[in-house]
Structure 1
């Protein structure tokens, strides 16, 4: 049997690769996945500048979406950590120590230490200029995948009609860019459609939110929906059409229910008053109502009605007092001589009218 021998080379022109990648992870990965990992690892170690999804895709002659898909694949395999910043749409690739698989007989680090190793790892920012677009030719190719064909077919049924080419591209991005499984996408479409939202522009916002929350199964999606379902009556009372509250609204809603410990019926009443009086969802105005009730110890609708009645009575009493004061002032402005003069003038007019007749 022939034996192989190795000649040492200058490490300046080499890129170290983790043993676990070669002996384990690489074996079940596709050629595209392997190319992306090796090139990104090379770019990271050589500190390449202007490193983007587009530059990787161009270098490897693949789609930008394939780059993202490969990085997410290696993230799941624990060879790197991919972090998305929605505010800037940047992605960070974190490489932990190459000694991710300990030598034989050596125990792995405890979880706390392993976590610290990852947190202390260097990172590489990958800028994403924009969400990938898909040509008709690419979409025709993707439709050959039975699960994608099923996704498109079922989506048209849920959305109530044919889906345009542009919308099919958006729909495919839920799977390819936002990394939502097909069954989660179909559940999301049904969820949005059942609440009167069939526009893919709106549904895409939901897709991004679910992707940011790491939703990978239908059960996770149901739990996520259930978490926000309790806020929907407040949104309706404020005449908001959205299915889930914004981060700012969520802060206020939790304050009403948890800090002020207000029953939901009072929160809804305050929301209705806010819209009736202001004409929009003014959270500061709504907060002032509930904060006032909280300070007065009001916790029931009956107590609210009693406070409303007391307020109305005090207003009416104030008006009567003000009216009486005005009349007294009016009377006191005339002396007896003035009243006698007015009576004489009225009597003279009456006499003149009768004389003329």
Structure 2
């Protein structure tokens, strides 16, 4: 396969990994995806030519695995892939070092990055299409807000959890939760506590989680706890069915789980059944294969596990009918078999021959 040209905006004499990558992206990504990203950084830092096949050999992956990793990081807006005649030819790194991509007042490029940022792993709801712009409150407005005891408590608790003085962007975001999402003091406190417990102190992650809760019309702490508990139970059941242990779901897995549980409204029993069939067929966990099964069931109107049994019975019946059909031997296509055979009276022929003599 052809070599790839790698370009980065800020080259250095060493392999540099931005704090943004470590803080905001690495913990949520598949470990194999992280390996590919770091190896590409190492190559571009030293002007080393590389190809998809070389990367695949390096980590004992398939080329498809490498492409999947690259597309994941492109979704995260950390790289840009360039194609020529449908062939990947260039990988351009987008350097976030020293740049606050979480700032809603940042450049238009940063704003575009936000739209494709990673979905919080603690939520099932997709927030695509629900991204809302954080208002920029004036210094006078913020001063008025800070006279509210609830706001004072929110700012104090958030600073305690994040362990730092809040930036203007972070204050604007918290005011947005209170003023526009109409979250109560208790709900905002639980939101901050929950996100920090997930290992993230990023206001971007907190905002994504808040928007997901708003989309679910969560207004109380008890509703938020029920939602997060349901998410963990769903993920645990599906991962357990696939035999996946000791890791959190990555973004595309979260999207599939969301699709099956929310869009298709399938029970965990139905999803577990599809996972089991996937393992029997592919001998490995595959969200893509399971999705084909579940999408087919959804299109056929499956609502209950008994509906699947009926589909299985119908499939067996059709298979049996196909097996019972007589096979076409092709005899009618043979010109010798189509020839009208003549019948002879051999005794009569013998008498005629004797008379001739």
Same fold? TM cut 0.5: no
Q: Which has the larger radius of gyration?
A: 1
Structure with the bigger RCO (C-alpha within 8 Å, sep 6+) is 2
> Which TM-score applies when normalising by structure 1?
0.37
Structure having the higher helix fraction is 1
